[in-house]
Amino acid sequence: MADLDTPRSAYPSTRMRRMRRDDFSRRLMRETTLTPNDLIWPVFVLEGQGQCEPVPSMPGVERLSIDLLVEAAREAHRLGIPVMALFPVTPMEAKSLDAREAFNPDGLAQRAVRALKDAVPELGVMTDVALDPFTTHGQDGLIDDSGYVMNDETVEVLVRQAVSHAEAGADIVAPSDMMDGRIGAIRAALESAGHIHTRILAYSAKYASSYYGPFRDAVGSAANLGSGNKYTYQMDPANANEAIHEVALDLAEGADMVMVKPGLPYLDIVRRIKDQFGVPTCVYHVSGEYAMLKAASLNGWLNEKAVVLEAMVSMKRAGADGILTYYAKEVARWLSE
């Protein structure tokens, strides 16, 4: 193929609109194709039976108890979605300073994994490795007297959490905490416990973003976090080289896949990672991005299906192999129409 700066014939022998004229030739030259295989569906899991609670800041998204989650998983699997990602809603009384509920073998996440692998074994199950749903202060790790999130002490808990997920049957563990060295520590612990097939999706470039607000409402960590912030461990939205550095470290420590989060505002990061490393790269279309599209659609200001599919194809075009999105089921349905 000629490279892009090879001289080309100019107008009128070249008319770019020729190929755009008809549907058949538009389809023929389409460079990016979206399929349900590209989707990971994040879900919020509740205690109880028959529980289904709407998330007010994410219309259309519901928190589900495990029995209803299993039904939803069957449907996701039927729609061709390869993976679901679980986010437990921890009851206030199970939260603590040391986040011990995170590695409870009978915790909500661990029970949900077992139920899903039992009911729909072909569906990939991914778990969130981070302590924010389990701490009374809503930070992703253990804090010292000054409130600083302690790295190495936190990593020890993350390792126990990840191993407990693998023991429950999780296919993918996804550390989203941004502590240093946690990928290597988790990988070593999984290997020595015999969980050699457990994949690690590292949230390598997770930014300290304001787009996570509705998620924190959904899992109930917003109230715990209060006016706190995560600037000492999540990345500065102004940085890109630092993301490359983070990804290089996580790959060296044993990550199978890496993630950029949020999605649309950070597609330059996705593209740089894909070009530089060529590894499986995921992107998280986060709660705030969902809320924006949903709110505008509910107001009649945007065509929901059209803008959501455009957002998805843009993430794929930027180099993403997997897209975590609360719109996963709708997207899979639209693609099959």
Which among 178, 226, 171, 219 has a CA at the least distance from the CA of 202? 178
- Cβ closer to ligand FVT: 215 or 266? 215
- Cβ closer to ligand FVT: 44 or 103? 44
**294 in active site:** no
- Cβ closer to Mg ion: 115 or 243? 243
Cβ(336)–Cβ(79) below 8 Å: yes
Distance in angstroms (rounded) separating the CA atoms of residues 100 and 160:
9
Question: CB under 5 A: which stretch of 163-171, 211-219, 236-244, 246-254 binds Mg ion?
Answer: 246-254
Q: Which of 95, 117, 206, 230 is catalytic?
A: 206
In the DSSP assignment, the letter for residue 238 is T
Cβ(99)–Cβ(142) below 8 Å: yes
Q: Which of 95, 117, 230, 261 is catalytic?
A: 261
Can you give the binding site for ligand FVT, defined by CB under 6 A? 128, 130, 176, 212, 215, 286-287
**261 in active site:** yes
246 binds Mg ion (CB under 5 A): yes
Give me the least distance between CB of 188 and Mg ion, in Å please: 16
Distance in angstroms (rounded) separating the CA atoms of residues 216 and 334:
28
Q: Helix/strand/coil (H, E, C) string of 41-56?
A: EEEEEECCCCCEEECC
Question: CB under 5 A: which stretch of 15-23, 76-84, 109-117, 239-247 binds Mg ion?
Answer: 239-247
- Cβ closer to Mg ion: 58 or 155? 155
Distance in angstroms (rounded) separating the CA atoms of residues 310 and 323:
13
Find the residue with minimal CB distance to Mg ion: 246
Query: Token digits for 108?
Result: 């909500």
From the list ligand FVT, Mg ion, none, which binds 246 (C-beta under 5 to 8 Å, kind-based)? Mg ion
In the DSSP assignment, the letter for residue 150 is P
From the list ligand FVT, Mg ion, none, which binds 140 (C-beta under 5 to 8 Å, kind-based)? none
Which among 170, 323, 304, 333 has a CA at the least distance from the CA of 257? 323
Dmax (CA) of the chain? 72
Question: CB under 5 A: which stretch of 166-174, 214-222, 241-249, 288-296 binds Mg ion?
Answer: 241-249
From the list Mg ion, ligand FVT, none, which binds 323 (C-beta under 5 to 8 Å, kind-based)? none
Give me the least distance between CB of 249 and Mg ion, in Å please: 6
Find the residue with minimal CB distance to ligand FVT: 215
Give me the least distance between CB of 264 and ligand FVT, in Å please: 13
Cβ(198)–Cβ(172) below 8 Å: yes
289 binds Mg ion (CB under 5 A): no
Residue 91 region by backbone torsions, left for phi larger than 0, else alpha for psi between -120 and 50, else beta? beta
Which among 21, 215, 72 has a CA at the least distance from the CA of 133? 215
- Cβ closer to ligand FVT: 135 or 176? 176
Token match 């072909």: residue? 122
Give me the least distance between CB of 172 and ligand FVT, in Å please: 14
Give me the least distance between CB of 215 and ligand FVT, in Å please: 3
Angle at which helices 151-168 and 182-192 cross, to 10°: 40
Give me the least distance between CB of 232 and Mg ion, in Å please: 13
List C-alpha distances in Å: 54 to 35, 214, 306: 27, 12, 24
**Residue numbering of the annotated binding site for Mg(2+):** 246
Footprint (CB under 5 A) of Mg ion, residues 10-49: none
Token match 């302590």: residue? 131
State the amino acid at position 138 in one-letter form: G
- Cβ closer to Mg ion: 231 or 301? 231
From the list ligand FVT, Mg ion, none, which binds 287 (C-beta under 5 to 8 Å, kind-based)? ligand FVT
Query: Token digits for 48?
Result: 């109880």
Write out the catalytic residue numbers.
206, 261
Residues engaged in binding Mg ion (CB under 5 A): 246
